[in-house]
Amino acid sequence: MGDKCGIIHFPCDFSITEELDSQCTQLIEILTKKGGSGKILLINNSGFGTYGQFPEPDGETQLNMLAVNVCAPVYLTARLMPLLTKRGGVILNVASTAAFQPLPFMSTYAASKAFLMHWSLALNEDLKGTGISTLVLCPGPTETHFFTRAGFTESPMSTYPGQTAEEVVETALYALVKGKSLTVSGWHNRLLVFFSSKLPKLIVIKMAAIGLRLARLEQFKKNQ
């Protein structure tokens, strides 16, 4: 906790669904007592992915992924809605360019981000006139620990034009100022999303499978 910066650190684990309600209750209490009285910016950024043929690494991990990527944002937003309605604000949901197409070897992850994107866009319409808006942010490969957590021995960003976390944040801030409901971070990611949305899904799936296979093979070769 850093009082000088106004930062309150509240660790929690949204993969443990049995604790989700109590964690949300504690978070709301903190926001009510120490979160000021202005508008709220709720950022649902927690999430992780895995790489491999389903259900690798195991079925429990797949369910935990859905708990963190899907259930937690929905439940947390629902619990915070009374406070958001009272004070106004923005709900920022971090999805992914993976939300725009099915991804072999990352099937559950891509599906969870597709849910988050479509839910966010629909929610934005639901909340018209309430003083609350939503923004769904769709970054591509970013310099974080995501790839390590997903099972890559090295980040494939060495062969793909990724972004830094700071660049993704800048995109989000710009979109917030402009009042957008959807933004894709990075021109190369916007180009990829544009073309993938124009092609038949079955073709996109085949192309994605080839790309992910090559990325994984490249990492394997580097470690021989």
116-160: pLDDT as tens digits: 999 999 999 999 999 999 999 999 888 766 666 656 666 655 556
Q: What is the pTM of this model?
A: 0.86
Better-predicted residue by pLDDT, 2 or 174: 174
Q: Find the helix or strand (DSSP H, E) in which 84 lies.
A: helix 72-87
Which residues are bridge partners to 91 per DSSP? Answer: 42, 134
Cis peptide before 55 (omega within 30 of 0): yes
Domain segments of the chain as ranges: 47-222
User: Which range in 24-33, 91-100, 200-209 is most confidently predicted, on average pLDDT?
Assistant: 91-100
pLDDT more than 70, % of the chain: 84
Give me the amino acid identity at 156: P
pLDDT more than 90, % of the chain: 61
Which residues are bridge partners to 89 per DSSP? Answer: 40, 132
Give me the amino acid identity at 102: P
Give me the amino acid identity at 224: Q
Q: What CATH architecture does domain 47-222 belong to?
A: 3-Layer(aba) Sandwich (3.40)
Whether residue 3 has pLDDT greater than 60: no
| Residue 2 pLDDT grade (very low, low, confident, very high; cuts 50, 70, 90) | very low
For residues 135 and 27, give the distance between their C-alpha atoms in angstroms, rounded to a whole number.
22
